[in-house]
Amino acid sequence: MDIFIQQVVSGLATGSIYAALALALVMIYEATDVVNFAQGEMAMFATYVAWSLINAGVPYWPAFFATLAIAFAGGLLVQRLVIRPVQNAPILTIVIVTIGLLIIFNSLAGWIFTYTQKPFPSPFPKEPVRIGEIVFGSHDLGQIAVTLVVLLCIWIFFRFTPLGLAMRAAAQNPVSSRLAGIRVGWMLALGWALAAMFGAVAGIMVAPVLFLDPNMMGGVQIYAFAAATLGGFTSPVGAVIGGLIVGVVENLVGTYVKFIGTELKFTVALALIIVVLLVKPTGLFGRTIAKRV
């Protein structure tokens, strides 16, 4: 039982990472009907920025927030420079452009920072937390806490601020929003910027566990895809819950189903994505979109 609870908590910790990245994917999808295949690589690159800052002697938390700001600006820039020109092009074009971004970020990171793995500091104490008989990793708990705080901030932003309202309006009905005086183009860019920021949080939180290298986010991204698919690409709440479920399931399967272990990690995600898409394509919390022809 103790092992079970430990595994669930560490599953929630991994799941919170998936949730953050899935939320980033969903935000972009909601606003622009694009799945950003480069989301994970943008997060990885932001993590390298944090690593450089910390290595240059900046204390952890200032470096953390500076990275978020840089990621925000980076996301904004990517949307304005690269995504906007193909905004109204067919899906194939946009998918290819985000794949282009994926390989650009991946190779740039390899070029600048080399392909060797780098350790990344954790801001949380090394000693595990004991509650009764059960031992929890401090980083796991801290990771969950940070993700929860970020989620809370986003929720407050979208629910209670005029800018958040404007962004929701722009995503839901761009034409009417424009008539109401909302600058829809900039709202979309803001969506990309915020998404890049969540990605950065996910990257920085997961780097102490996975170690930093240019391919660090490959596995995380595919699980974030699975999470977003499970929760529904049209539902931010679904993305978060999907992320947590996927994280816990992954951990429990890894512990109790011996023949899968970690060797078939991607295969499990693939199976999950295909099964969800076949059984319930809208995901658990997504809404059906009727198409007029």
Partner 1 sequence: MNDARARQAVIVVAILIACALPFVLSNFRLFQFTQIYIYAIALLGLNLLTGYNGQISLGHGAFFAIGAYTAAILMDRWGVPYGWTLPIAAVICLVAGFLFGLPALRLEGLYLALATFALALAVPQILKYFEHWSGGSQGLVLIKPDAPFGLPVNADQWLYLLTLALLLITFWIGANLLRGRVGRAIVAIRDNPTAAQAMGVNTSLVKSLTFGVSAAYTGLAGALSAVVIAYVGPDSFNIFLSITLLIGIVIGGLASVPGAIYGAFFIQFVPNFAQDISKAAPWAIFGILLIVFMIAMPAGIAGGVKMIWNRLTRRRVSEPSGTTPRPGMQATP
Where on the chain is the footprint of partner 1 (CB under 8 A)? 33-35, 37, 82, 85-86, 89-93, 95-97, 99-104, 106-108, 110-111, 115, 218, 222, 225-226, 229, 263-267, 269-270, 273-274, 277-278, 281, 293
Structure tokens at 223: 């699980």
Q: Of 144 and 276, which CB lies nearer to partner 1 in the complex structure?
A: 276
Q: Of 34 and 68, which CB lies nearer to partner 1 in the complex structure?
A: 34
Q: For the CB of residue 92, give the shortest distance to partner 1 in the complex, in Å.
A: 6
Q: Of 92 and 131, which CB lies nearer to partner 1 in the complex structure?
A: 92
CB 240 within 8 A of CB 194: no
DSSP-based three-state secondary structure for 59: coil
| E strand segments, the chain | 129-131, 134-136
* Residues 6+ away with beta carbon under 8 Å from 259: none
Q: Of 89 and 153, which CB lies nearer to partner 1 in the complex structure?
A: 89
**CA angle, 50 as apex, 47 and 55 as ends, to 5°?**
125
* Widest distance between CA atoms in the chain: 61
Q: For the CB of residue 226, give the shortest distance to partner 1 in the complex, in Å.
A: 8
Q: Of 189 and 273, which CB lies nearer to partner 1 in the complex structure?
A: 273
Structure tokens at 196: 């890049």
Q: For the CB of residue 273, give the shortest distance to partner 1 in the complex, in Å.
A: 5
Q: For the CB of residue 98, give the shortest distance to partner 1 in the complex, in Å.
A: 9
Q: For the CB of residue 124, give the shortest distance to partner 1 in the complex, in Å.
A: 30
C-alpha separations of 233 from 78, 207, 257 in Å = 22, 26, 29
**Dihedral sign from CA coordinates of 163, 166, 172, 175:** negative
